[in-house]
Amino acid sequence: MSGTGKTDLQALKHRVDKTPFTKRLKFDGGGFTACPFHVGESRTSAHLVQKDGSWILTCFSSCGKSWDAINFVKEFDKVEFGECRKRTTYRRTEGNPDDCERVAAVG
């Protein structure tokens, strides 16, 4: 990937909010949930945090992996990058900050 491609990917990761995670997983009040990629011993083994402008989900149990929104959607939905990009491009709607609508992929 060229330097411009990496820059574009980083910009996309920073534009994506936590919606791809919250639309697919149920979190407790502290940002914890069960890791969706393994059957673990804990129902709250994964934690969602914002780090360096991107949302990151980290499993602290069996698999020990971390995902940004792009890689999470690719793995969770089992889609390639192009489809993932469409599924992670949202615009905040008025009112409830957790209510988002999907918009066309960013050029």
Per-domain residue ranges for the chain? 3-102
Q: What is the pTM of this model?
A: 0.73
Mean pLDDT of 9-25: 87
Percent of the chain with pLDDT over 90: 36
Instruction: Encode pLDDT of 67-103 as tens digits.
Output: 999 999 999 999 998 888 888 875 544 444 444 444 4
Band (pLDDT 50/70/90 cuts) for residue 1 is: very low
Distances (CA, A) of 27 to 3, 19, 81, 102: 36, 12, 25, 21
Average pLDDT over residues 40-68: 86
Model pLDDT, residue 75: 94
Predicted confidence at residue 88, as pLDDT, reads 82
